[in-house]
């Protein structure tokens, strides 16, 4: 547990002249759920994209015992990193099952032929996907698309799963299902880096939390402690009585 | 014109259409996966036909040295990328850019090709030209893979001109025709069908079926489709655009070479003949909107028939007639298709 699967130190990312991340440092212990919360435009998506090598960045990244000098998406996928991006990036005109199978492309390439077993596991996790296996991904409902995006990432048997707002636009019932799945994945030994707007649910499931504001980490610590931090409560957990009741029911 | 002439023209048109259909498929494939409008597609056809002709004459096809030189250049680019801190897939690079060209070189020199059976010469030719595909991608397209379609098109035109020039250098200005696989002729009513015509149509249909199987049943085929549907999504699955590009041009070069060895017994081909053949495949692909394989194949049939009948009525204008076809087609497409924004 005290092994660190991912550590990012002093990461800077700029879009043209504007710097979006000003020296962000975070660490994900192996087997833990780490969440990054923060307001819109804080740079959460930027952080995940830079770690994955989708954006050029400056700083130090260690992943699975290796120093990554120039992050390269294909290489990182091969080493066991997976990202479920904010836009999901599904293969819309291909079937649900083809989407899932493609999630295992790197494994297949390395000669791993146990893909159908992983497919069964993913179908067990998301029975809804099995019912819709021949349907085109573009015609799925929002919740089903989310499940497919997560399932597709799991097909690669990642060591580290990065999720960018998995609860985006979903009904409370499905959000609960997704968070339960995330907790279950930790039991299976997958480390998770979770970016969320839904701070309450995220801090509940996570072991460690970071608060990212305008490109800087402003707070960090055990998730429980963050959830009780007055500042966090006021900005991120403060909600109306009605919402609080709803959250209590779903918890 | 009477029925027998119409039949003969139809036969001609259908045989050519089979080739145009293959090339149209290759063009649609390359565009869908890499966004490259692949003008040099036709050069693989003439290189294929002339390489086969050289082997038949007992000469060493100079294309094999072009392949080795191209492989060396591609390796040099990889080494350069390596020293700039990029992660280079060395195993694949060594296979495609060193091992494969050298094996082909060895085979070309080690065996007596003039006395070998025609099918063996054809296989060597197809292997040799297909191996050029990944190298073409690495040298000319990989460095600018993210560039806009227009830039990729301009590079395509440059590569086309370079390959035609090299073709003149390597093969000379002379035209060649190769031995048919099947010498027999069959008379059916007014038609005297050469056995090679069956080969062309049969091999084209088989290849189209094989490609359909590849894209719907194999993981690599699905990976290419995934890249065409969503490049970012594909990258996140570890399907690198470079891998997809190499594989796509491998297929396109193989299709070009196969078309070349299939038509060379029917038509005399010169170092620059590939361009016009490829362009007709392109017209067919445009009819399919550079996106639909079945419509592109249908387009190929239309192009083949118009060309055959055009050469009967106004043979001097047959090319003009075929290429004028593109104007109403573009007009029709501009009315019926929705504009898809790039990226
Ligand atoms: N491609 C881009 N070009 C220029 N600026 C960008 C680009 N992408 C993001 N930004 C800017 O960088 C900042 C961080 O954006 P980012 O998407 O990382 O925020 P976020 O924390 O994920 O927000 P949200 O919670 O709304 O998803 C924002 O100010 C955004 O406008
Ligand atoms: Mg975001």
Structure ipTM: 0.89
Using an 8 Å Cβ cutoff, are B7 and B189 in contact? yes
Over range B217-246, report the average pLDDT: 95
pLDDT value at B343 more than 50:
no
For residue B219, the chain A residues in CB contact (below 8 A) are: 101-102, 105, 108
pLDDT, tens digit, for every residue of A202-216? 999 999 999 999 999
pLDDT value at B199 more than 80:
yes
Chain B closest-CA separation from residue A172 CA (Å): 27
CA of A13 to the centre of ligand 1 (A): 11
Whose CA is closest to atom 25 on ligand 1? A40
pTM (2 decimals)? 0.90
Ligand nearest to the CA of A86: 2
Cβ contact A156–B238 (<8 Å): yes
Helix axes B293-313 and B3-34, enclosed angle (nearest 10): 140
Summary mean pLDDT of chain A: 90
For residue A110, the chain B residues in CB contact (below 8 A) are: none
- Assign B340 a pLDDT band (cuts: 50, 70, 90): low
Using an 8 Å Cβ cutoff, are B303 and B283 in contact? yes
CA distances from A49 to A95, A251, B229 (A): 26, 30, 20
pLDDT score recorded for residue B328? 83
For residue B121, how many C-alpha atoms fall within 13 Å in the half-sphere facing its CB? 28
pLDDT value at A250 more than 80:
no
Nearest CA in chain B to A81: B236
Backbone angles phi, psi at A87, to 5 degrees: -90, 5
Backbone angles phi, psi at A101, to 5 degrees: -60, -40
Any atom of ligand 1 within 6 Å of the Cβ of A215? no
A58 strand-pairing partners: A12
Closest CA relative to residue A35, chosen from A167, A176, A159: A167
Nearest CA in chain A to B220: A105
Listed range (A38-42, B26-30, B65-69, B286-290) with the worst mean pLDDT:
B286-290
- Could you tell which of A17, A39, A42 is best to mutate to test the pocket of ligand 1, judged by most ligand atoms within 8 Å of the CB? A42
Q: Which residue has the tokens 């002729």?
A: B185
Q: Which of A102, A136, A157, A163 to mutate to test the interface with B (most CBs of B within 10 A)?
A: A102
Tokens of B288: 């399919």
The chain A residues in contact with chain B (CB within 8 A) are 52, 54, 69-70, 72-75, 77-78, 82-83, 85, 87, 89-94, 98, 101-103, 105-106, 108-109, 152, 156
Q: How far apart are CA A75 and CA B89, in angstroms?
A: 9
pLDDT, tens digit, for every residue of B18-54? 999 999 999 999 999 999 999 999 999 999 999 999 9
Q: DSSP class of residue A61?
A: E
Over range B231-253, report the average pLDDT: 95
pLDDT score recorded for residue A244? 57
Backbone angles phi, psi at B302, to 5 degrees: -60, -45
By CB neighbour count within 10 A (0-12 exposed, 13-18 middle, 19+ buried), where does A65 fall? exposed
B177 strand-pairing partners: none
Whose CA is closest to atom 18 on ligand 1? A43
Chain B closest-CA separation from residue A205 CA (Å): 25
CA of A177 to the centre of ligand 1 (A): 28
Report the atom number in ligand 1 closest to the C-alpha of A42.
21
pLDDT value at B63 more than 90:
yes
Over range A221-243, report the average pLDDT: 78
Q: How far apart are CA B73 and CA B105, in angstroms?
A: 16
- Assign A243 a pLDDT band (cuts: 50, 70, 90): low
- Assign B337 a pLDDT band (cuts: 50, 70, 90): low
Using an 8 Å Cβ cutoff, are A154 and A161 in contact? yes
Chain B closest-CA separation from residue A103 CA (Å): 5
pLDDT, tens digit, for every residue of A80-124? 999 999 999 999 999 999 999 999 999 999 999 999 999 999 999
- Assign B170 a pLDDT band (cuts: 50, 70, 90): very high
Q: How far apart are CA A203 and CA A207, in angstroms?
A: 8
pLDDT score recorded for residue A2? 52
Q: How far apart are CA B210 and CA A89, in angstroms?
A: 29
Any atom of ligand 1 within 6 Å of the Cβ of A46? yes
Over range B74-86, report the average pLDDT: 92
- Assign A241 a pLDDT band (cuts: 50, 70, 90): very low
Cβ contact A156–B237 (<8 Å): yes
Summary mean pLDDT of chain B: 91
Using an 8 Å Cβ cutoff, are B238 and B55 in contact? no
Over range B246-256, report the average pLDDT: 97
Over range B257-286, report the average pLDDT: 93
Any atom of ligand 1 within 6 Å of the Cβ of A40? yes
Listed range (A244-248, B51-55, B73-77, B173-177) with the worst mean pLDDT:
A244-248
Ligand nearest to the CA of A39: 1
Question: What is the percent of chain A where pLDDT is above 70?
Answer: 94
Report the atom number in ligand 1 closest to the C-alpha of A212.
21
Nearest CA in chain A to B233: A89
Over range B201-208, report the average pLDDT: 93
pLDDT score recorded for residue A239? 56
Over range B105-111, report the average pLDDT: 94
Name which residue leads in pLDDT, B332 or B219. B219
For residue A74, the chain B residues in CB contact (below 8 A) are: 235, 238-240, 243
Any atom of ligand 1 within 6 Å of the Cβ of A21? no
Q: Is B247 helix (H, G, I), strand (E, B) or coil?
A: helix
pLDDT value at A240 more than 70:
no
Name which residue leads in pLDDT, A181 or B49. B49
Any atom of ligand 1 within 6 Å of the Cβ of A44? yes
pLDDT score recorded for residue A156? 94
Whose CA is closest to atom 30 on ligand 1? A41
- Assign A245 a pLDDT band (cuts: 50, 70, 90): low
pLDDT value at A232 more than 70:
yes
pLDDT value at B98 more than 50:
yes
The chain B residues in contact with chain A (CB within 8 A) are 85-87, 219, 222-223, 225-226, 229-230, 232-240, 243
- Assign A1 a pLDDT band (cuts: 50, 70, 90): very low
Over range A175-192, report the average pLDDT: 90
Question: What is the percent of chain A where pLDDT is above 90?
Answer: 75
Tokens of B336: 């019926």
Cβ contact B226–A93 (<8 Å): no
Q: How far apart are CA B101 and CA B68, in angstroms?
A: 5
Whose CA is closest to atom 4 on ligand 1? A15
Q: How far apart are CA B173 and CA B272, in angstroms?
A: 9
Nearest CA in chain A to B239: A74
Closest CA relative to residue B168, chosen from B302, B270, B86: B270
pLDDT score recorded for residue B117? 92
């Amino acid at each position: 547990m005290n092994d660190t699967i991912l550590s990012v130190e002093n990461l800077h990312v700029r879009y043209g002249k504007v710097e979006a991340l000003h020296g962000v440092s975070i660490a994900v212990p192996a087997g833990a759920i780490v969440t990054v919360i923060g307001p819109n435009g804080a740079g959460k998506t930027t952080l995940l994209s830079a770690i994955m090598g989708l954006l050029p960045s400056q700083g130090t990244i260690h992943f699975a015992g290796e120093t990554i000098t120039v992050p390269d998406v294909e290489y990182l996928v091969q080493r066991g990193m997976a990202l479920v991006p904010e836009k999901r990036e599904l293969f819309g005109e291909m079937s649900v099952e083809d989407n899932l199978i493609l999630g295992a492309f790197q494994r297949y390439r390395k000669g791993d032929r146990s893909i159908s077993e992983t497919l069964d596991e993913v179908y067990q996790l998301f029975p809804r996907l099995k019912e819709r296996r021949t349907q085109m991904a573009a015609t799925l409902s929002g919740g089903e698309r989310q499940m497919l995006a997560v399932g597709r990432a799991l097909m690669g048997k990642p060591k580290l799963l990065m999720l960018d707002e998995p609860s985006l636009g979903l009904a409370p019932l499905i959000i609960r299902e997704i968070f339960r799945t995330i907790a279950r994945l930790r039991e299976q030994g997958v480390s998770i880096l979770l970016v969320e707007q839904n701070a309450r649910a995220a801090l509940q499931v996570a072991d460690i939390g970071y608060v990212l504001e305008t490109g800087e980490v402003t707070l960090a610590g055990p998730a429980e402690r963050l959830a009780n931090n007055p500042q966090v409560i006021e900005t991120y957990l403060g909600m109306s009585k009605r919402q609080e009741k709803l959250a209590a029911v779903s918890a | 014109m009477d029925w027998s002439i119409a039949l003969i023209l139809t036969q001609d048109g259908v045989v050519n259409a089979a080739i145009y259909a293959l090339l149209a498929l290759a063009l649609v494939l390359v565009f869908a996966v890499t966004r490259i409008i692949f003008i040099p597609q036709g050069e693989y056809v003439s290189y294929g036909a002339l390489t086969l002709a050289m082997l038949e004459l007992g000469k060493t096809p100079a294309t094999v040295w072009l392949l080795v030189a191209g492989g060396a250049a591609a390796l040099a680019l990889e080494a350069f990328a390596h020293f700039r801190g990029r992660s280079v897939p060395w195993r694949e690079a060594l296979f495609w850019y060193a091992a494969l060209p050298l094996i082909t070189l060895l085979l070309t020199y080690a065996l007596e090709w003039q006395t070998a059976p025609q099918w063996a010469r054809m296989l060597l030719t197809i292997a040799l030209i297909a191996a050029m595909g990944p190298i073409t991608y690495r040298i000319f397209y990989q460095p600018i893979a993210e560039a806009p379609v227009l830039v990729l098109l301009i590079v395509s035109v440059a590569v086309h001109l370079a390959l035609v020039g090299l073709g003149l250098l390597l093969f000379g200005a002379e035209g060649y025709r190769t031995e048919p696989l099947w010498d027999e002729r069959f008379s059916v009513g007014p038609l005297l069908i050469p056995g090679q015509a069956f080969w062309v149509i049969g091999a084209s249909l088989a290849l189209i079926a094989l490609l359909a199987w590849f894209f719907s049943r194999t993981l690599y085929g699905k990976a290419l489709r995934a890249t065409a549907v969503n490049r970012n999504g594909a990258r996140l699955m570890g399907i690198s655009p470079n891998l997809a590009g190499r594989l796509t041009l491998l297929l396109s070069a193989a299709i070009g070479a196969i078309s070349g060895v299939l038509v060379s017994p029917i038509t005399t081909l010169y170092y620059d003949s590939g361009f016009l053949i490829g362009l007709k495949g392109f017209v067919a692909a445009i009819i399919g909107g550079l996106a639909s394989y079945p419509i592109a194949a249908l387009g190929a049939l239309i192009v083949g028939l118009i060309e055959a009948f055009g050469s009967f009525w106004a043979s001097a204008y047959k090319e003009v007639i075929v290429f004028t076809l593109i104007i109403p087609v573009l007009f029709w497409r501009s009315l019926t298709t929705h504009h898809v924004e790039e990226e």
